[in-house]
Structure 1
Amino acid sequence: MADESIPRDVPGGVPRQGSVSSSHVQFQGELASAETCTVMNFLGYGPYIRQARRDAYKECGRLLTAQSRDGSTWIIAGSKAEGLTSYLESDRDYISVVKGVICLEEGVDSSTIPGETNILRSCSRLSYPGHCRLLLERFGTTASIQFTEALCDDGYGRLFLSSDLYVNACSDVKHTEDVVVHERAGPSTPSTLAKDLHTDLVHALHFYCPGIVTRWATRHRNWPTPNVVQEVVSLGALVTPVGMKGSDYEHVEWRMCFNTAESVLVQNLNDTQVKLYVLLKMVKKDVLKPRKKEFTSFTMKNIVLWIAENNQQLLFHERSLIHWLHEGLDALRVAIDKRELPYYIIPERNLMAACDLDNEQQRAWIATINELIEEGPRIILRLPKIRRAIIAHPEPLRWHSGMKIEMEMLELIKMYRAALGVDMETDIIYQVAKRRQHEIASEVNLEWIMDWRSTGDLVIDLNYAYTSLLM
């Protein structure tokens, strides 16, 4: 079980400024940290490419909003908005926020809301923290079919907006032949476009909750800076159609979410903190491998945000990365042991609640995390992506990294041109980017053919090279 001698004196179960017992181990950890930071830059986690991704997806969200026929606001969220994954590396998370509906926190005055807006009032007293039911307070001048079809009577003449009915109503749309729609996953409707582009679409509502964000903003903290705190407060929140698992009101409950605020927070982490987040996600995916979402990348994000808030920023530098990786794993170990991890924005919400974690799996993960921590700097060799890069010769690694990053930058340009609605067959910029991508795929494939002479493993499919460079 978790080491109870480690003090957990701050929210989030994350200690302030951990210590390293051996100066020799500390020196090894510092060297390994610096090398890992360099390798991660080659692998596509450096500041430049992260910013390029963030800019591209933010602009695509803006264009989707401008082109929306019903006036919905479109947001690209998750790892794409944070700039942490390459084009095909993970799902693309879309949020569509409907126009003309607003949800208000309890106690907020609704008299200043324009008359055309439908008003819902959050009722959270009978729901798990971070969740609420939405009571119809006032009809606006217009309401969508999806909105009206999702209203249900509670037996006392009050109308609540059902999260289940809302997802079903919003999902009842026709798709083109190249889109495969999958079974609902929580609040999202997953789909696959052109066989390899996986997306998750969530239909959400605006949520005005000054009380919640004020409580977050007034916490004592080392991070983020006051101007970032004010930006987060100004962004507001959303409610998404998913209830607390096992709740009596699950089918009508909604979850309070701060997607845009979390993206801003991640963007304001320093380089070492961002790479800590990426490494923790790698540990989750490649070592611990949860099958039932007992913990997720969102869990790792919250651990990193708590660590950043609870510690002085000067402690986070490229030579301390492995130290903070151990601290992050220790925080995860405690969360699994106690089945408790407070949500960074609303600490009363426990991210480990209802996670279906059985005792045998709990003990196995704690034992594995103990082994990882005891390995010291060698922990990074457990991560296949990092290990392969470390053992590679520097020059081929640098060359392949340059090809991979250029390929993705060109794909982001093409994505932006497509979002603009240009004719992709005649648009000069799109076609130039496409031709250069073909050249890159050919160069990389030729290099693989040269390697075949010594390995016996021949790759001659340009489509495979193209896709691999975007993964």
Structure 2
Amino acid sequence: MFHTPDYYHNISMRLSEVLDDIQVNKNMVMKRRRTALLSETMHTITRTADGRQMSIYKLGSQSEGTTTIGLDSDIDTLGSIDVIVIQNWSEWTPGFNYLMIQNETTPPGYCLLQVLRPDAPLPYTHEKGNTYVKDTSGRILIKNTIIDTVMIGGHQRQGPSMALAAEPDIHASDIVLAFLCKSWPQSSRVCLDRQETNSWPTAEMKRYAKTTKCFVVGVGSKVSENADFEWRISTSLAERCLMFNLNITQIRIYILMKMIFKTYINVANLNNENYISSFMCKTVLFYCIASKPSFVWKECNILNCLSFCAQTMNRCILAGNCPHFFDHKNNLMAGKISTEVKHQLLERMSNLIQCDETFLFGIQIDDLGDRLQIKLNTINEVHHYIPLPDEYTMILTTKLLLDVVRQISSTHYDFIHRIKVESLEMKLKILFQTVLHFRRYYRDGNMLEKTACRLLAPLYCTSIGSLIASQNIQINNTVSPQAIAWLEAGMDSDVASSKLKLASIMYCTGDMERVAMILSHIEEQYSTEVTETVCVCYFYRSYLKTGFFQLCCQYDAAEFKYIFAFCVRFFPLEINCVPHELQHEMHRSTQEDLQHRGRRDHWMDCAVVDSLPYLYFLQYKTYSNLQRPEEQQQALTKLMWVIRTERNLAHRETALNLLGQCMEQENRPVDALQCYMVSLRHRERNNAAKIHICRCLANTIL
């Protein structure tokens, strides 16, 4: 195998160049990993802040850096909840414990979970609802169907996960709820401790893998009669450890394997099933790396290594057995490939074993085949546009930065929504504790935790300041120094949104000179050629500004605040911080409209507006109060301009409703009604435009 013909060497080097062009390189792999780990950290920190002991892990190809734009891999999230699985009674601690049971009835890699008492190391003895069942030995077992009882709206059960389909600009995602094992099961420990003649995994990697957590997830074996009672053992963090220790050539081979199987194997007439999963490809790659010397895995040898991996996968299909890397008795193919499908797979694999360049030419994912032919001078041109490497860099860097920024906004919004039923005093108490939680993490945590806290804290400070200010305004129409201090602490959350909340609060107290000064400063900072709006109410983005693209390559996650603007969001308890024109948005829904809300439409109980139109609306109102008509008209012109030209307004209907009310103030009722009608065309239901139309018509008639 390792006597490599010269043309194999040439193809491998050109293939390596192609993969570098589509950003499968060390730099972008590390960027992807840092983004995933930062998102993971933000999730975990905020969830532990309000007492929910759940650790979040971002797993799979997105977090490993083993995907491309064309592969468009799902985002896999594992949530470890506050339940402990023990291997023996000596590991019991007060709280929720399940005892892992592995016997002759449980397939390798799976287990049963016996329910234990939380107050003593004794078995639980009472069946409870449909999620508990008593086995023939009298033990109370928990069924994996308990996952169905906590299914999030809009998700569908797929194996152990709650799956959410992809939406425009957003990856599909899988959320897996898992129970933490206090220690690794014996079967997995044996495989991890096995002595190999080869040096991979290294002793250091094995030691680290042993320190990672092990989980059980809610899915049974496909070949079991007791699938509802079984739980699959997951060593995903140890697998991530191995993936993080691959070199760039091994990562490229894994990506090529996924591309090849997606192109030639997992295609139509096989019932549209992915019989050869990415996890099987990863497992085969692990075995291949462990069986061959490290000097083999270099870029000039990619084609040979790819062929070896294909041959290994072919042997697995032929035997109907792909052993799990950390539990050799666990067959990943068990019950998944029928005899008929096996013959089809082997027939297709027979054409791929050599993995010559002609099969690579047929890969359309990321235009890999065309790119390779251009590198090899077998074609001079293609009849469709192929992005240049620099364009790929900009696209990917922008996507990763957008992911982080969305995470910041959605984490904050979900947190506030979660405590919406609490009283003002309790909300403030929870938010105070959360900011102190961030402060402790920032003081004592690692660099990733410090970055996460620095990005998250400003929005929470702004929320505290806004809630206090709303209470102040209700009592005496002033804002206390305490509220101002919190609002100022949150000023650098992004380009505009937190500053606009401060300006809105000052407007509601009548301090127009200060409002004008704040708005002038925001306008200086907000570059309409660069700054992009970010909204997590729903997903809509169809366009990104060229200037924004270019700057994204220069900024990292900690500096995003210079080029992003969140939408401005006021929750109901902040209503006194909102001009009356915007307050109508909190009452947008009739009883009939409520029946037409989606799973993520709880933002409709808030007043939400994009930063730029709100800036110009506040300027219009402020200059009106200051009796500065020329500047007032300039602001009105800008408001009309931004609604007409800004392609990524998330809440265009709200901006139109504000413009309509400005038109009413201008004594232009016909133009106002036109604004409201256009608003309704953008959002037919759950739109305050209906209120404005009725009011405007009534005022006109009277």
TM-score by shorter chain over 0.5: yes
Match of 1:449? Answer: none
Q: Please list, as runs of the form range in 1=range in 2, the aligned pairs for 1:308-387 lying within 5 A after superposition.
A: 308-359=289-340, 361-374=341-354, 376-384=356-364, 385=366, 386-387=368-369
> 1:263: Cα distance to partner?
1.0
Could you tell me how far 1:258 is from its partner in structure 2? 0.8
The change in CA–CA distance for 1:275 and 1:194 in structure 2 (over 3 A counts) is closer
- SS across alignment from 1:39: helix
Deviates further, 241-250 or 210-219: 210-219
Match of 1:75 among 28, 47, 57: 57
Alpha-carbon distance in 1 for matches of 2:247, 2:135: 48
1:218 equivalenced with 2:193 (yes/no): yes
1:285 aligns with 2:262: yes
Mapped partners of 1:228, 1:187: distance in 2: 28
Residue deviations 1:4-31, cap 9 Å, x none? xxxxxxxxxxxxxx445xx5xx211111
Q: 1:133 is matched with which residue: 100, 112, 121?
A: 112
Does structure 1 residue 427 correspond to structure 2 residue 493?
A: yes
Q: 1:103 to 1:438 in 2, by over 3 A?
A: same
Compute the displacement of 1:416 (Å): 5.0
Q: Structure 1 CA distance, aligned partners of 2:281 and 2:7?
A: 25
User: Secondary structure of 1:279's match?
Assistant: helix
- What does residue range 376-415 of structure 1 map to in structure 2 within 5 Å? 376-384=356-364, 385=366, 386-391=368-373, 397-415=388-406
Percent sequence identity over aligned pairs: 20
Partner of 1:40 in structure 2? 19
* Separation of aligned partners in 2, 1:213 and 1:347: 9
Contact 1:96-1:203 at 8 Å conserved across structures: yes
Separation of aligned partners in 2, 1:103 and 1:311:
36
TM-score, scaled relative to structure 1? 0.78
Distance verdict in 2 for CA 1:216–1:85, change over 3 Å: same
Q: Which amino acid aligns with 1:434?
A: E
CA distance in 2, matches of 1:440, 1:289: 40
Shift of 1:375: 5.7
Report the structure, 1 or 2, having the larger helix content: 2
C-alpha RMSD over aligned residues: 3.1
Q: CA deviation digits over 1:52-105, x for unaligned, max 9? A: 111111121122112224211111111122122357912111111111x21123
- Give the C-alpha shift of residue 238 in structure 1: 0.6
Structure 1 position 391, deviation (Å): 4.5
* Count of residue pairs brought into register by the alignment: 408
Tell whether 2:75 aligns with 1:92.
yes
- SS for the counterpart of 1:349 is strand
CA contact (8 A) 1:104 1:209 kept: no
- In structure 2, the partner of 1:305 is 286
Alpha carbons of 1:440 and 1:102: their partners in 2 closer, same or farther (altered >3 Å)? same
Instruction: Report deviation, 1:402.
Output: 2.9
Runs (5+) with no aligned partner, structure 1 = 1-17, 444-460, 464-471
CA contact (8 A) 2:398 2:549 kept: no
Structure 2: how far apart are the matches of 1:388 and 1:426? 46
Determine which structure has more spread, i.e. the larger CA radius of gyration.
2
Match of 2:575 in 1: none
What is the distance in 2 between the residues matched to 1:237 and 1:327? 31
User: Contact 1:410 / 1:433 at 8 angstroms: preserved in 2?
Assistant: no
Q: Report the counterpart of residue 132 of structure 2 in structure 1.
A: 151
Quote the Cα distance in structure 1 between the aligned partners of 2:104 and 2:214. Answer: 19
- Contact 1:333–1:366 at 8 Å: present in 2 too? yes
Runs of 4+ in 1 over 4 A off after TM superposition: 391-396, 419-426, 429-433, 440-443
Task: State the Cα distance separating 1:261 from its structure 2 match.
Answer: 1.0
**Partner SS for 2:253:** helix
* Contact kept? 2:531, 2:548, Cα under 8 Å: no
Shift in CA distance, 346/396, structure 1 to aligned 2, threshold 3 Å: closer
Change (3 A) 1:267 1:140: farther
- In structure 2, do the counterparts of structure 1 residues 389 and 417 end up closer, same or farther at CA, with 3 Å as the change threshold? farther
The one-letter code matched in structure 1 to 2:493 is: D
Which region of structure 1 is more displaced relative to structure 2, 387-396 or 373-382?
387-396
d(CA) in 2 for partners of 1:73 and 1:82? 18
- Do the aligned partners of 2:110 and 2:231 also contact (CA within 8 Å) in 1? yes
* Contact kept in structure 2, 1:118 and 1:140, CA below 8 Å: no
Q: CA distance change for structure 1 residues 86 and 323 in 2, over 3 Å: closer, same or farther?
A: closer
What's the offset of the Cα at 1:462? 8.0
1:136 maps to amino acid:
V
Offset, 1:215 = 1.2
Q: How much has 1:392 moved relative to structure 2?
A: 5.5
Structure 2 gap ranges (5+)? 376-380, 412-454, 463-490, 497-525, 534-542, 551-645, 649-702
CA distance in 1, matches of 2:106, 2:178: 19
Task: Name the counterpart of 1:14.
Answer: none
Shift of the alpha carbon at 1:194? Answer: 4.9
What's the offset of the Cα at 1:181?
2.3
1:187-242 CA-to-partner distances (Å, cap 9, x unmatched) read: 11111375543111111101222523431232214212211111111113111000
More relative contact order in 1 or in 2 (CA 8 Å, sep 6+)? 1
CA distance in 1 between partners of 2:19 and 2:119 (Å): 51
Structure 1 residue 300, shift from structure 2 partner: 0.2
Distance of 2:545 and 2:76 partners within structure 1: 28
